[in-house]
Amino acid sequence: MIYLKTEEEIVKMRAACDLVSRTLGEVASRIRPGVTTRELDNVAREFILDNGGHPACLGYHGFPGTLCIEVNETVVHGFPSGYTLREGDIVGTDCVVELDGYHGDSCYTFAVGEVDEKVLRLLEITKESLYKGISAAKGGHRIGDIANAVQTFCEHHGYSVVREMCGHGIGKSMHEDPEVPNYGRRGIGPVLRPGMLICIEPMINMGSKNIVIERDGWQCRTRDRKPSAHFEHTLLITPDEPEILTTFRYIEDALRANGGRII
């Protein structure tokens, strides 16, 4: 069942999306070699709670963190831990905030210090593919138009698209219908209607598209252990161009202030 949001619900979604965006801005200000992923998780959790929100991932079906931490070959759902970020790492931080009964969801993959140019290129193309998908998310188009835009762009540049994980609808629940894959054919899937709220989140690998789910049932990495990148926005479908409700502006401001790499 796909739920179209009312104007009142959209107002609440905007607030949740702003909070998750500001949360990742706080995380961005701490990205550097020597920081543990658990420290990043603590920063996110405390900021969300201090601003009246709830860290939606924490405890979700037993998930142990506020952030899904994605270091290097981790695709999604990595656990915060005592792992210390090192020069040359990349780290994705996927965060979901619940505020006043509604959810905002966003992800950004950061470069830690000086990162290999080939890996930076993976991050750049993945982020650009997110906006290719968003450009296809016009009212009256179909989910397949988004999926195809992401897939063709990334594969044209020599990268592979993870099949098993996808974007999703969002609202009162963290995950709602419809699923929003990152591969597929144009002109298929549910029609995009004004009032739909969806998350587009390309998960793109440098090597093979094949993944492995670890024994904990959560942590997902590339089978060949080559790097993977992940970017995500929450957006509102309108009669014309989609409206992006999350923003990377807070992240970019923090990186700029601390000399970090803006992807």
- Decide if 195 is inside a domain: yes
Q: What is the pLDDT of residues 123-148, one digit of tens each?
A: 999 999 999 999 999 999 999 999 99
- pLDDT for residue 50: 98
- Stretch 81-95: mean pLDDT: 98
Averaged pLDDT of the chain: 98
Measured over the CA atoms of residue 13, residue 171, residue 104 and residue 197, the dihedral's sign is negative
- pLDDT for residue 183: 98
Q: What is the pLDDT of residues 37-46, one digit of tens each?
A: 999 999 999 9
- Decide if 243 is inside a domain: yes
- Global pTM reads 0.97
- Based on the structure, what is the number of domains in the chain? 1
- Stretch 228-253: mean pLDDT: 97
The parent domain of residue 205 ranges over: 7-258
- pLDDT for residue 260: 95
| Domain CATH code at residue 224 | 3.90.230.10
- pLDDT for residue 30: 97
- Decide if 101 is inside a domain: yes
Q: What is the pLDDT of residues 147-176, one digit of tens each?
A: 999 999 999 999 999 999 999 999 999 999
- Decide if 1 is inside a domain: no
- Stretch 66-72: mean pLDDT: 98
